[in-house]
């Protein structure tokens, strides 16, 4: 009887863990789609809301950065193979972003190496790597 009870407890824990993992995975999918959509529309100011609040407070966007983001339009956002787990609560994603300068109409590409972290308290995924560096060559 004691053995059966132990097995039931272990199965219950595994089931709950599976549910938590599924919920975390679903939240990641939703977050990455929303972030990608926000960038596709070129709304970098709204995209900043995906950045971890601690990172955002430590590294606020400068007026110069905001001006640079206003100078470009996103013509393509390719998340390729999607996110790759780098821990229980972390994923990495590499995205190719094509940008068009609104003044010169010249197009160029930047590679954005994104790091995402899941916060168990808020049940949210946060971008910890910041917005894409659009000044890279």
**Domain-embedded: residue 137:** no
For residue 20, the domain's CATH number is 3.10.450.100
pLDDT digits (tens, 9 = 90+) for 71-104: 999 999 999 888 999 998 999 999 999 999 999 9
**Domain-embedded: residue 84:** yes
Domain that includes residue 49, residue range: 2-127
**Domain-embedded: residue 96:** yes
Instruction: Say if CB 61 and CB 131 are below 8 A apart.
Output: yes
Please, where are the H alpha helices in 41-110?
44-47, 53-58, 63-70
Per the structure block, which two tokens stand in for 29? Answer: 């999918």
Residues 6+ apart with CB under 8 A from 89: 24, 117, 118, 120
Which pTM does this prediction carry?
0.82
Q: Answer yes or no: is pLDDT of 35 > 60.
A: yes
How far is residue 110's CA from residue 2's CA, in Å, rounded to a whole number? 60
**Domain-embedded: residue 7:** yes
Residues 6+ apart with CB under 8 A from 13: none
Q: Count of domains in the chain?
A: 1
**Domain-embedded: residue 133:** no
Mean pLDDT, the chain, whole residue set: 87
């Amino acid at each position: 009887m004691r053995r059966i009870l132990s097995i039931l407890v272990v199965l219950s824990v595994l089931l709950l863990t599976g549910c938590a993992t599924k919920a975390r995975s679903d939240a990641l999918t939703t977050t990455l789609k929303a972030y990608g959509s926000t960038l596709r529309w070129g709304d970098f100011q709204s995209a900043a809301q995906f950045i971890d609040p601690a990172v955002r407070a430590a590294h606020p966007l400068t007026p110069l950065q905001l001006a640079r983001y206003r100078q470009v339009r996103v013509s393509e956002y390719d998340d390729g193979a999607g996110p790759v787990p780098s821990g229980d609560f972390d994923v990495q994603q590499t995205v190719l972003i094509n940008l068009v300068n609104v003044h010169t109409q010249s197009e160029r590409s930047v590679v954005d190496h994104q790091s995402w972290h899941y916060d168990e308290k808020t049940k949210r995924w946060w971008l910890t790597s910041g917005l894409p560096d659009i000044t890279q060559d």
